[in-house]
A and B are shown apart, each in its own frame.
Chain A
Amino acid sequence: AQSVAQPEDQVNVAEGNPLTVKCTYSVSGNPYLFWYVQYPNRGLQFLLKYITGDNLVKGSYGFEAEFNKSQTSFHLKKPSALVSDSALYFCAVRVLVLEGVYGNNRLAFGKGNQVVVIP
């Protein structure tokens, strides 16, 4: 099945320390990968995406992610975490859907990681 996995439910990190949120994927063909962040009682906001090119992708709010094809991973990173980074983070992968009238694609999301940055 085409999917992503976020193995940790919660990530706790001290303010100022590096933050890593893990994601592994399973897809047919070349992966299109995304990270989103959700603050309490809000919708998801786009952080960054990998389509092709440089394996290190830079995104919003100082976040970056590293695409690793051999490990089928797309971990989200931030060198120095802020208390305001405390939120729910979702990894997503484009899934090709060929059945039905419309052959098309959609995003499959992981279960999410709660990040808690401790002051």
Chain B
Amino acid sequence: DVKVTQSSRYLVKRTGEKVFLECVQDMDHENMFWYRQDPGLGLRLIYFSYDVKMKEKGDIPEGYSVSREKKERFSLILESASTNQTSMYLCACQLDSPAGYTFGSGTRLTVV
């Protein structure tokens, strides 16, 4: 089975800090995604990547950036954390279409 590992389950950061959320998958999948999950809003796509060094904006990219230097690792970066970025962040990977996604366990980020 594919394993998707998010480095932190819970994270507390201060406003203005630069925050890195790491995601690593172990099955050589091309496609990787970052979502945030908020009550009543479901999952919203932040960024995705279909290849190394490639990135595409999702529906809500403002305030975020990403890095994919190696195939197995897809990092989400909050350049200057703000309280409205307090959320659950979910990483997912996908082998190809029409495969579904495999999700990590999520990182619950609180910005104070």
Within A72-119, the residues touching B (CB, 8 Å) are 90, 92, 94, 100-102, 104-107, 109-112
CB of B108 within 8 A of CB of A106, answer: no
Q: Does A25 contact B (CB under 8 A)?
A: no
B37 → A minimal CB distance (Å) = 8
Q: Is the CB of B90 within 8 A of A44?
A: yes
Please, how many residues of chain B have a CB less than 8 angstroms from a CB on the other chain?
A: 28
Q: Write out the residue numbers on chain A whose beta carbons fall within 8 Å of the beta carbon of B42.
A: 90, 109-112
**Which segment, of B12-20, B70-78, B79-87, B93-101, faces chain A?**
B93-101
Whether A46 and B102, one on each chain, are in contact in the complex, defined by CB atoms closer than 8 angstroms, is yes
Return B15 CB to nearest CB of chain A, in Å: 24
B52 close to A (CB within 8 Å)? no
| Chain A, Cβ-Cβ closest to B97 | A105
A49, A106, A109: the one contacting B48 at CB < 8 Å is A106
Docked complex: A34-82 residues within 8 A CB-CB of B? 34, 36, 41-46, 49, 51
Question: Inside 8 A of A45's CB, which chain B residues have their CB?
Answer: 103
| A92 CA / B58 CA spacing, docked (Å) | 16
Report B50 CB to chain A, min CB distance, Å: 5
Tell me if A49 and B100 are in contact (CB < 8 A).
yes
CA distance A109 to B9 in the complex (A): 22
Bound form: Cα–Cα A32–B42 in Å: 19
Are B43's CB and A90's CB within 8 A? yes
Query: What residues of B have a CB within 8 angstroms of the CB of A42 in the complex?
Result: 105-106
Q: Which residue on A lies nearest to B91, using beta carbons?
A: A43
- Asked whether A102 and B100 contact (CB < 8 A) given A41-B108, A42-B105, A109-B42, the answer is no
Query: Which residues in A have some Cβ–Cβ distance to B below 8 Å?
Result: 9, 32, 34, 36, 41-46, 49, 51, 90, 92, 94, 100-102, 104-107, 109-112
Q: What 7 pairs across the A-B complex have the smallest Cβ distances? A: A43-B103, A111-B42, A109-B43, A44-B103, A32-B98, A43-B105, A43-B106
